Amino acid sequence: MKVRELQEHLSKLNQDLDVLCYSEHDSLIPDGQLFRLLNIEAISTTDSERVRLDDGTPYLKIGKSPSSVVLALLEVGPNF
């Protein structure tokens, strides 16, 4: 999702609402639960390359290089 798209979606909501993230992805869900709830802790940008590890896991190679692009990052955590 692009920053512009995120802003468009959020601009349609009550501006005083809290924002939380959640995932239903099996690798992120604790046993016995249906979803994982995450709080947005920080927003930043970084020069990075999107890569996949040998096992297929998405990863970032952080740093400026001929192949890097600027990405917006939402840092999330389990506490809210």
Q: Which tens digit of pLDDT belongs to each residue from 9-52?
A: 999 999 999 999 999 998 888 889 999 999 999 999 999 999 99
- How far is it, in rounded angstroms, from Cα 3 to Cα 71? 10
**pLDDT of 65 higher than 80:** yes
- How far is it, in rounded angstroms, from Cα 48 to Cα 61? 5
Instruction: Give the model's pLDDT for residue 30.
Output: 84
Phi, psi of 5 (to 5 degrees): -65, -40
Confidence class of residue 69 from pLDDT cuts 50, 70 and 90? very high
**pLDDT of 80 higher than 80:** no
**pLDDT of 66 higher than 80:** yes
